[in-house]
Amino acid sequence: MIFSLKKEKTYTYVEEGEGHTFVLLHGLMGNLSNFNAPLKFFSTKGYKVIIPSLPLYSMPLLRTNISNLAKHIMRFLRDRNFSKVTLVGNSLGGHIALIVAREIPNMVHSITLTGSSGLFEKAFGDSFPKRGSYQYIEQKTQEVFYDPKVATKELVDEVYEIVSDRNKALKTLHIARSALKNNMADELLYIKQPVCLIWGKQDNVTPPEVAEEFHRLLPCSDLFWIDKCGHAPMMERPESFVKILDEWISKFNLNHEYSKH
């Protein structure tokens, strides 16, 4: 799917459709194309879908951390005057969604987490990203998925480019370490919005017990499993991911609410 990127102030994002707003947040090694399937489906089903590009490599090194990434998204929501959005986050993006929902609850209607950090993850920080052979990067990228073929050459090339660039690799490491330090176990009880947890049963990065712990600690959550699926269900099993999210979000009748405004 070819994106039409919009640029406004310090923000770069994709925006499609009209209706209740989904804000999709990609992970540390991810990009906007990770959400091709949800973008295509929901933007044609009466929703507005926005995918902001996280400024992973454009902030000064000392400010490159999960807290400032979350502040960037909060400024974006305020500047666009959004209210009651649904945040959908994968991996680091899920962690950011939780921080945003905690800090500005009046602007967040609901949250969907898939392979989210925030409690525990097998961090890249101990051994990855690091410079290495292309084959090593390919192997590490494949391990994110249940089916290694999902790690296309294009995807491996993107990761290899990041870890081969000293500046990008250093900033990636800073973000990964800041996410590890920002454990949200004690804060989840304050997140009152409904949360949809969509998890791959074979997630090696944030294993199934992480999803179960999120489900236990969040006051209002539903947990859904996708079999034969790793850390990025919206990429590896897009039809299942979209079906679960569509059925879950439909129970709130948000399009009807939107039409009244």
Which of 43-47, 160-164, 226-230 shows the lowest mean pLDDT across its residues?
Answer: 160-164
Rounded Cα–Cα distance for residues 191 and 110 (Å): 10
At 133 the pLDDT is 85
At 107 the pLDDT is 95
Q: Which domain holds residue 83?
A: 5-120+183-259
At 83 the pLDDT is 84
Residue 32's alpha-carbon distances to 3, 53, 242, 261, in angstroms, are 9, 7, 16, 29
Q: Which amino acid is at 79?
A: D
Average pLDDT for 126-134: 60
Rounded to two decimals, the pTM is 0.92
pLDDT of residue 97 exceeding 90: yes
Mean pLDDT of the chain: 90
Q: Is residue 125 part of a domain?
A: no
Q: Is residue 132 part of a domain?
A: no
Q: Write down the number of H helices and E strands in the chain.
A: 10, 8
pLDDT of residue 1 exceeding 90: no
Q: Is residue 133 part of a domain?
A: no
Rounded Cα–Cα distance for residues 131 and 91 (Å): 22
Rounded Cα–Cα distance for residues 90 and 35 (Å): 9
- The domain total for the chain is 1
Q: Is residue 110 part of a domain?
A: yes
Q: Is residue 171 part of a domain?
A: no
Q: Which residue has the tokens 């707003």?
A: 21
At 260 the pLDDT is 37
Average pLDDT for 39-66: 94
Q: Is residue 17 part of a domain?
A: yes
3-state helix, strand, coil in the chain (%, to 5): 45, 20, 35
Q: Is residue 131 part of a domain?
A: no
Rounded Cα–Cα distance for residues 131 and 257 (Å): 50
Q: Is residue 30 part of a domain?
A: yes
89: domain CATH number is 3.40.50.1820
